[in-house]
Amino acid sequence: MLSMTGFGSGRAQDGALAIEVQIASVNHRGCQVQLRGDLRDLALEELVRAEVRAALGRGSITVQVQLHSAQALPFDLARLAASWRELSRLAAELGAPPPALEQLAALGGAGFAAERKPGEGALRAALAQAVAAMLGERKREGAALAAHLRALAAELGALMPALAAAAAARLARYREGLAGRLREVLQGTGGAAAVTPELLVRELALYSERIDVAEELVRLAAHLAALDGLLAHGDEAIGRKLEFLLQECAREANTVCAKANDSALTALALNGKGLIEQLREQSANIA
């Protein structure tokens, strides 16, 4: 299991040019790659994006590429002179002092010959190091998340027998209460004897149909079994599967709450909903 958060860096040498790649990732429903830094080649930029998407799969990912030259870059004197003349004319029009050459050179690209582009092989090597470091962090955090998810799933599974018992106990309590209320209503009307077993059975059948949660509990148990299998499988790309499965668990728990009509069952169902929500929050961190 992989987390979506992490950081990795890599460095490779291409002659006198050092290439440094840093990758940072946070949670995102899809895969979004932002590229920053010194690359000025569309083909190399697309190569980086494609490699990162293929390796990391999911997350909001920022890739920083920096180029460091071991040799001093030569001045482009013609370019520097042309830039100074243009800015001097503008300064005269505005009534400002002319620019100093050292200030103009400090602007960056105005005074230096262009750096050569990094080679694809060296760029791939630095990127591969950064991705490997990122995956290492994602795996370590993913292992901690997996342990937490399994603990929450086990706690939710332990609620199932209590949910089933509380659901079954409602009918007996309702039967006793219904019989008592009917006797009170019919008392003094000469109709006490009319509280027949047939009448009670008919009323209980109607009530039990309205509050029946057997199907919901069966489906919830099936979803939890699937969840256990998913967490035990160790598949690294399970985030979307987890989100869908927990969405279905939440649907069944909501229905149980809506049909509970019983404080004990409602309390248990709310406890289950809380555990499912914790699982959903954690699953949002899984790649």
Domain-located, residue 165: yes
pLDDT of residue 113: 45
| CATH code, 45 | 3.30.230.10
User: What is the C-alpha separation between 126 and 22, in angstroms, rounded?
Assistant: 9
Does one domain contain both 169 and 250?
Answer: yes
Do 96 and 127 fall within a single domain?
no
Please indicate, yes or no, whether residues 265 and 160 belong to a single structural domain of this protein.
yes
Whole-number pLDDT of residue 79: 77
Q: Residues 191-218: what's their mean pLDDT?
A: 72
Among 236, 256, 241, CA closest to 156: 256
Tell me which residue range forms the domain holding 99. 75-113
Residue 1 lies in a domain: no
Q: What average pLDDT does the segment 187-193 reach? A: 54
Higher pLDDT, 187 or 132: 132
Both 203 and 249 in a single domain? yes
Q: Quickly state the pLDDT bin for 218 (edges 50, 70, 90).
A: very high
Asked, for residue 36, whether it belongs to a domain, the answer is yes
Q: Nearest to residue 136, comparing CAs of 287, 286, 3, 11?
A: 3
What's the pLDDT score for residue 112?
44
Least confident of 53-57, 80-84, 95-99, 106-110: 106-110
Q: In this predicted model, which residue has the larger pLDDT, 12 or 233?
A: 12
Are 216 and 161 part of one and the same domain?
yes
Q: Are residues 45 and 170 in the same domain?
A: no
Q: Are 153 and 241 in the same domain?
A: yes
Structure tokens at 266: 């409602």
Residue 210, in any domain of the structure: yes
How many C-beta atoms surround the C-beta of residue 29 within 10 A? Answer: 13
- 28 sits in the region (left: phi over 0; alpha: psi -120 to 50; else beta) called beta
Distance separating alpha carbons of residues 86 and 93, to the nearest angstrom: 11
Residues 169 and 255 in one domain: yes
pLDDT of residue 188: 57
